[in-house]
């Protein structure tokens, strides 16, 4: 387990009218919840107070991240890694969640605390069933279980977190916040795949999109830079997983991940877009099983497949040293990003802000520079000094499009949406 110590809260945004839940009717309740501050990165500047104490649990396929938030600050946070991996002391997600509970209790912040208002859970796939954050009941658990075929790695881990937390605190309201929810506003032109309609409908084959809490949070912050919630924003969430989204006036209109988190941008270990016939070819001619192809595309592709490193820091060092494999990987990564920026410019018609976020987006000046190179005719230009310095605004003066670096905060967004559901429920 790592990163236990509480530290000051990061950046945040001002009050503004945003539908963070993805509900097309706009969820004004979310505006009841504190969300003020500024975009001054790393300053520890004041952030709007959350009106309660929330434990946020983010159970990934092989890790459990947690954060306890209260008022303006973070009381505790950490990660349990290598969950369920061979040789790991943590055999599964239930054990990991119990370790989190023990750790919080040892710090005097146990789940039995009467000060705890709620627990918020990241749930990756809500399908078309859940398009807004939802108070967890037995029926909701059943609904998340029913979606396991669409997210076989993620939803069972999320359910384990829900099960343990409900067992430890059956009296406490718990809320599921779905990665897919923010993308529920994407119109059919962008969400439908051009395959047989009956097959698609029967099996739920369509674009759902992921990283929704990050896209919601960052697009809202980005809109503040452009003067208001009506802004058109392209968000580039570049972490281990990576996705782009096009957001107009707080509503997502397109995103690069699809039915699963494999589509779209080049990622650390995932291929992103490729000709679907490659899968058929690998099976028929390459003699690979479906499980082998799944592992190839999800775990041994992307930057790792292209150059043998999935950590962007290592790739960057190799590029600087003139390594040709790393150079190819970096150029494929940035070329794909540039294509999506161009595509989403066309989807939105006009763009006010392009926002980089996630571990790569927030830290890699090289990726930001190369991804947006040559787009001057669209009014997109990065100032090299501001970019290298890591300013919040890195666009060159005079460009029509602001380019920004905005640290994401999925845990804060989950806490905010959790409290919004509780306040809505309490109001009846």
Ligand X SMILES: Nc1ncnc2c1ncn2[C@@H]1O[C@H](COP(=O)(O)OP(=O)(O)O)[C@@H](O)[C@H]1O
Q: Which is nearer to ligand X, 395 or 408 (CB)?
A: 408
Q: For the window 124-163, what string marks contact with ligand UVW as x by the rule CB under 6 A? A: x---------------------------------------
Consult the annotation and say whether 312 binds a ligand: yes
- Spatial separation of the C-alpha atoms in residues 69 and 15, rounded to whole Å: 19
Q: Nearest approach, Cβ of 18 to Mg ion (angstroms)?
A: 20
Q: Which of these ranges, 63-71, 233-241, 371-379, 385-393, lies near ligand UVW under the rule CB under 6 A? A: 233-241
Q: Per the residue annotation, which of 23, 29, 179, 409 is the catalytic one? A: 179
User: Rg of the Cα trace of the chain?
Assistant: 21
Minimum Å gap between C-beta 142 and Mg ion is: 28
What residues are paired with 355 via a beta bridge?
235, 404
DSSP 269-334: S---S--THHHHHHHHTT---HHHHHHHHHHS-HHHHHHS---HHHHHHHHHTT-HHHHHHHHHHH
In degrees rounded to 5, what are phi and psi of residue 322?
Answer: 85, 20
To the question of whether residue 311 is assigned a binding role by annotation, the answer is yes
Q: Using CB atoms, what's the residue nearest to ligand UVW?
A: 241
179 is catalytic: yes
**85 annotated ligand-binding residue:** no
Least distance from C-beta 366 to ligand X, angstroms?
8
Q: Which is nearer to Mg ion, 239 or 305 (CB)?
A: 239
Which strands make up the sheet holding 174-178, listed edge to edge?
73-80, 64-71, 50-59, 116-123, 174-178, 134-135
Residues 229-258 that bind Mg ion (CB under 5 A): 239
Which phi-psi region, left, alpha or beta, contains residue 8 (left: φ > 0; alpha: ψ -120 to 50)?
A: beta
Helix residue ranges per DSSP H, 107-154 = 138-146
Residue 238 marked as a ligand binder: yes
Question: Between residues 210 and 345, which has the closer beta carbon with respect to ligand UVW?
Answer: 210
Indicate left, alpha or beta for 119 from its phi (over 0: left) and psi (-120 to 50: alpha): beta
Alpha-carbon distances of 10 from 5, 35, 181, rounded to whole Å: 14, 12, 24
- Is residue 210 a contact residue for ligand UVW (CB under 6 A)? yes
Query: Shortest Cβ distance from residue 179 to ligand UVW (Å)?
Result: 6
Place of tokens 């669409």: 150
Residues 287-316 interacting with ligand UVW (rule: CB under 6 A): none
> Which residues of the chain form contacts with ligand X (CB under 6 A)?
239-241, 268, 311-313, 316, 358-360, 363-364
Number of residues located near ligand UVW, criterion CB under 6 A: 8
Is 58 assigned a ligand-binding role in the annotation? Answer: yes
Nearer to ligand UVW among residue 37 and residue 239 (C-beta): 239
Rounded-to-integer distance, Cα 336 and Cα 340, Å:
6
Beta strands in 162-301 (DSSP E): 174-178, 232-238, 242-248, 251-255
Nearest distance in Å: CB 360, ligand X: 5
**CB-based contacts of 76: which residues, under 8 Å, 6+ apart?**
4, 6, 66, 67, 68, 103, 104, 107, 109
CB-nearer residue toward ligand X: 119 or 360:
360
| Out of 78, 126, 143, 239, the residue judged to bind ligand UVW by CB under 6 A | 239
Binding residues for ligand UVW, rule: CB under 6 A, are 60, 124, 179, 210, 239-241, 261
Annotated catalytic residues are: 179
């Amino acid at each position: 387990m790592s990163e236990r110590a509480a530290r000051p809260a990061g950046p945040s945004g001002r009050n503004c009218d945003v539908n963070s839940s993805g509900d097309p009717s706009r969820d004004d309740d979310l505006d009841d919840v504190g969300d003020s501050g500024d975009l001054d990165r790393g300053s520890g500047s004041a952030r709007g107070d959350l009106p309660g104490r929330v434990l946020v649990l983010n159970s990934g396929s092989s890790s459990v991240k947690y954060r306890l938030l209260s008022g303006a600050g973070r009381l505790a946070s950490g990660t349990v890694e290598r969950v369920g991996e061979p040789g790991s002391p943590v055999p599964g997600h239930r054990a990991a969640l119990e370790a989190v509970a023990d750790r919080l209790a040892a710090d005097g912040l146990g789940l039995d605390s009467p000060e705890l208002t709620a627990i918020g859970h990241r749930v990756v796939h809500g399908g078309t069933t859940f398009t807004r954050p939802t108070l967890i009941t037995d029926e909701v658990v059943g609904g998340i279980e029913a979606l396991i075929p669409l997210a076989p790695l993620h939803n069972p881990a999320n359910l384990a977190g829900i099960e343990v937390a409900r067992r430890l605190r059956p009296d406490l309201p718990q809320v599921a916040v779905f990665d897919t929810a923010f993308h529920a506003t994407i119109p059919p032109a962008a969400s439908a795949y051009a395959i047989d309609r009956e097959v698609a409908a029967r099996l739920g084959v369509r674009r759902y999109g992921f990283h929704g809490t990050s896209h919601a949070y960052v697009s809202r912050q980005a809109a503040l830079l452009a003067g208001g919630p009506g802004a058109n924003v392209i968000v580039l969430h570049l972490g281990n997983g990576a996705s782009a989204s096009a957001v107009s006036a707080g509503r997502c209109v397109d995103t690069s991940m699809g039915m699963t988190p494999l589509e779209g941008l080049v990622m650390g270990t995932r291929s992103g877009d490729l000709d679907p016939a490659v899968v058929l070819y690998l099976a028929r001619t390459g003699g690979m099983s479906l499980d082998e192809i799944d592992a190839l595309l999800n775990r041994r592709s992307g930057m790792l497949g292209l150059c043998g490193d999935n950590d962007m820091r290592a790739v960057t060092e190799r590029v600087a040293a003139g390594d040709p494999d790393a150079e190819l990987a970096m150029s494929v990564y940035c070329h794909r990003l540039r294509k999506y920026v161009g595509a989403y410019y066309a989807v939105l018609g006009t763009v006010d802000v392009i926002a980089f976020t996630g571990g790569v987006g927030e830290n890699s000046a090289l990726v930001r520079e190369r991804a947006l190179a040559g787009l001057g005719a669209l009014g997109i230009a990065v100032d090299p000094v501001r970019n290298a310095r890591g300013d919040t605004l890195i666009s060159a003066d005079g460009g029509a499009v602001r380019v920004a670096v905005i640290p994401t905060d999925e845990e804060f967004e989950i806490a905010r949406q959790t409290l919004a559901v509780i306040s809505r429920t309490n109001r009846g």
